[in-house]
Amino acid sequence: MRLGIISDIHGNAVALQEVLIALEDAGVDEIICLGDVVGYGPHPGLCSEIVRGSCSLVIAGNHDRALGDIEVQGWFNPVADSALEWTRERLDDEDLEWLLALPSEAPHAEGPLCCHGAPGAPDDYVLTARDARDALLASACGIILCGHTHRPMACDINGRRQCTWLHWCDGDVVPLEKGHRYLFNPGSVGQPRDNDSRAAYMVIDFARQEASLHRIRYEVGATQRAMRSAGLPEELAKRLATGV
């Protein structure tokens, strides 16, 4: 079983399509999405349609949930809020109903717990090894998958509850060792924030007992042009080129 994991697409269909081609070439059996299908980007309807047809499990991100939850939207800064209002106006009823029905977290049949933020706290960011340790100790799952930060991350915790930050860059492979538990973040497909503009995704190979991170270039300029044509905030378009 080879599982592809994507997250934080944010309405960027150009990046999403490149990642899905790469995952098909990698021979994955299923793809799961850890949330934020929409928000910020110019293709909310298209991304919803593609993800709905391509992913076996989709988790609600905070931008997805904010479409129907004023309290969640209330935490957004003015730029994110403006983009969310633009997004809401361009989703049809079917897409909106689907996005609002997504679970905040769910287990996958192969065992990983899939979240957007932290387990039991979908809006919390898992940013540090301490955050990862707390998340792993709060769950009995051997693998936790989360998004939300737009930054790839890999941590493991051993039987002595020592949490280790693992090297996790393009092409890195983490062996899944017995007696260890892991937290992975695949980074962002549509709006990376780790100073790398390339779209990010990961693969777990359960037969080989290993997880790998991958980056892929896409035509950033095409997404930027679509954002500017749509009248979305300029700073959202600019940041795509630098990955910040």
d(CA 143, CA 1): 15
SS3 content of the chain, % helix, strand, coil (to 5): 35, 20, 45
Q: What is the pLDDT of residue 179?
A: 87
Q: Which CATH superfamily is domain 2-104+171-177+185-239 in?
A: Metallo-dependent phosphatases (3.60.21.10)
Task: Please name the residues in contact with 226: beta carbons below 8 A apart, sequence gap of 6 or more.
Answer: 14, 42, 43
The pTM of the full predicted model, rounded to 2 decimals, is 0.95
The reported pLDDT for the residue numbered 160 is: 63
Note the pLDDT of residue 70.
83
3-state SS, 148-175, equals CCCCEEEEEECCCCCEEECCCCCCCEEE
* Residue 3 burial by Cβ neighbours in a 10 Å radius (0-12, 13-18, 19+): buried
Tell me the average confidence (pLDDT) per consecutive run of 10 residues in the chain, 244 residues long.
97 98 97 97 97 97 93 88 94 96 94 95 92 89 96 88 86 93 97 97 97 98 97 95 92
Question: Which tokens belong to 208?
Answer: 């080989």
pLDDT score recorded for residue 162: 76
In the three-class reduction of DSSP (H, G, I as helix; E, B as strand; rest coil), residue 178 is classed as coil
End-to-end, the C-alpha distance of the chain in Å comes to 34
